[in-house]
Amino acid sequence: MNMKLKTTFTSLTIAIAASLVAGCGSDHDDLPPSNPNPPAAQAKGKAIDFYLAGATVTFEDCNDQTTTTDATGGFNYPNDCRDTALTVTGGIDIGTDLPFSGTLKAPKTTAGNLNIASPLTTLITYAGGAGDSAAVAAKLGLSGKNLLTLDPMTDAAALKQTVVVQQFVDQIQKALIQLSTSGGGSLTPEQAARAASAALAARLEAQTGTVDLTNIDFIQAAVQGAVLEAKNDLPASMQANIEKIAANTAALTAAVIQEKVAAVNTALSNITIGANPQATLNALGEKLETVKATATSPATANLINALSAALMSTTVSAADLQALGAAVAAGNLNQIKDALADVNESLPAGSKIPDSIADDLQQVDLYKNYLQLVSLGLNGGTPYNIAAIEGSVVSGNELSTTGPLDSVQVKLNKVGSPFEGNFSEARVGLSYAISGGNTLDLIIDRVNMSFDSNGTLTAASVPVGATYAFRGTGSPALVGNSKNNLQADNLTVTNGAVTLPIDTFLNKLAGTSGIPTSQVESYRPKAGNNVSIKVALGATSSTTVRVGTGTGDAAKAATSIGINTSTSNTLAGQGVSAVLKIQQ
């Protein structure tokens, strides 16, 4: 065959083959078209303190779309969402089996195969973003590790710092929330976590070299910075003295926070990474109990709650508060008593901290031996629980009753041995301010109480010889008026709640003041009034009493409250403050 014929034949064969392919399209319609630019694999991430299961992940730069993490903290990015910052809230920490109350952040960055949201990436976010990842890692002793993509559950050093940082932030978060509550505010966990993380990131940036997270000076600076970071979210009443309050809070709490952070740091000093997350947790064993104990400790909140009057003071010495905090952390009762006495020397009479608090501060992790204040009722109506009472100071959450306000019911339970002495008695104070009107302060210098074997209040009375003292601010003004009780007054007790009869008290006021009953009526809260009210219990000449709220791990000291009816008659006690609206 000549060359020309061979070439022609080959060309013909190719042409026929092409024609056959074109004509048999029905046999190949299901073949996908070729794509020279296949889509990138879907990005994935992990939410980690230990892994957070059931947490909510928000993709901030993708229209705030959300997803939920799986049992090991995993999540998928939405389609077409790769360049985004992350926020993680809620969920359960699989290491401690506790709800996660913090907030994790990850800075805006282009997602890779695995993207991490952890306490360490939160610090990177507040330090300035992804570009600061290496610097933050170096400060934490993790040089060379990419904290934005490294799963801490696969790296012992990173896991230790992750958990220690979160416990550090958690302790400051608790301090901020309680500080706000003590001032009548309602700082949210998210706001507190933001302030705590931002302050810690700022302190890291300010340090040179590797940072020791258990250093007390570093901790004190971080707490002080966190209070200032939270300034705009704290109550208006704190704004004018926020610098002093920040310094006081840091001085008081630093040693207690150090003790908690150091305990976790020591417990996690030797971590064995297992073949899978559960194996790692199993290897940690009892070390997780230390983490859990720190995460659930109410110590910082109890400390701030018990000393709130001192923290708000412009006259108290920060050095005295620091000494008291150190004594509390050491658990030395004699040192606590001495330091508390020093703190009280600089406080005005109406704001002094009860000496009985010393025993509770010695065991600040668990408040015990106290008179539990359970609820507050108005005019015999359905009582309000402590959460509602404490929340009533926020506009729109006020307690409510119909007017006039004739009585207040206070439910009390005896937990352990709250009275130091042989008598179950206390001074009782009642104070209320009528919006746009008068303010009345009342102190009963002795109220005897009886409790059954379950600790439920069964009877209360004002004995013969006890004194009712009044002070009225407004019109007409009443200062230093008092009345000795010539016969016992039995106070009504129903279902463990003692009734404080305002109607009876005002009648006694009329008898001691020498003014007409018609004028005393200006001190009666009436329909249409908003009323700020305080109820407190304190020491008598024979005994003292500690007052608290909640039970078990949730128990804590009640708010320190001062009431005075004259320069020589003051009550420094514990109780509750509330705001109520009296309806028509």
Q: C-alpha distances in angstroms, 231 versus 194, 200, 246, 254, 295?
A: 12, 16, 9, 19, 25
Q: How confident is the model at residue 24 (pLDDT cuts 50, 70, 90)?
A: very low
Q: Which residues contact 556 (CB under 8 A, 6 or more apart)?
A: 298, 301, 302, 305, 367, 548, 549, 550
- Is residue 18 scored above 60 in pLDDT? no
Q: Give pLDDT, residue 357.
A: 84
- Is residue 115 scored above 60 in pLDDT? yes
- Is residue 480 scored above 80 in pLDDT? no
Give the three-class secondary structure for 162: helix
DSSP 171: H
Q: Is 27 exposed, middle or buried (0-12, 13-18, 19+ CB in 10 A)?
A: exposed
Question: Looking at residues 412-432, what average pLDDT do you find?
Answer: 89
Cα(first)–Cα(last) distance of the chain, in Å? 118
Q: How confident is the model at residue 543 (pLDDT cuts 50, 70, 90)?
A: confident
Strand segments (E) across 74-134: 74-76, 83-89, 92-93, 98-99, 103-110, 115-117
Helix (H) or strand (E) holding 499: strand 497-501
Give the three-class secondary structure for 554: helix
Q: How confident is the model at residue 4 (pLDDT cuts 50, 70, 90)?
A: very low
Question: Looking at residues 521-534, what average pLDDT do you find?
Answer: 93
Q: Give pLDDT, residue 465.
A: 93
β 497-501/530-538 pair status = unpaired
Choose between 560 and 265: higher pLDDT.
Answer: 265
- Is residue 14 scored above 50 in pLDDT? no
Q: Give pLDDT, residue 421.
A: 65
Three-class DSSP labels, 523-536: HCCCCCCEEEEEEE
**Buried/exposed code over 484-520 (b: 16+ C-beta within 10 A; e: otherwise):** ebeeebebebeebbbbbebeebbebbbebbeeeeeeb
- Is residue 412 scored above 60 in pLDDT? yes
Q: How confident is the model at residue 419 (pLDDT cuts 50, 70, 90)?
A: confident
Q: How confident is the model at residue 482 (pLDDT cuts 50, 70, 90)?
A: confident
CA distance 519 to 515: 7
CA distance 42 to 112: 9
CA distance 580 to 584: 13
What residue spans define the domains of the chain?
Answer: 44-153, 162-362, 370-583
pLDDT tens string 30-55? 444 544 444 556 789 999 999 999 99
48: nearest Cα among 107, 109, 120: 120
- Is residue 487 scored above 50 in pLDDT? yes
CA distance 145 to 165: 16
Q: Give pLDDT, residue 513.
A: 60
pLDDT tens string 182-227? 888 889 999 999 999 999 999 999 999 999 999 999 999 999 999 9
β 569-583/399-402 pair status = parallel
The segment with the largest mean pLDDT, out of 106-115, 392-401, 478-487, is 392-401
Q: C-alpha distances in angstroms, 581 versus 382, 472, 530, 578?
A: 15, 21, 5, 10
- Is residue 11 scored above 60 in pLDDT? no
CA distance 461 to 424: 11
> Mean pLDDT for the chain?
88
- Is residue 407 scored above 80 in pLDDT? yes
Q: Give pLDDT, residue 499.
A: 98
Give me the residue label for tokens 């109607």: 503
Q: Give pLDDT, residue 118.
A: 97
CA distance 177 to 92: 21
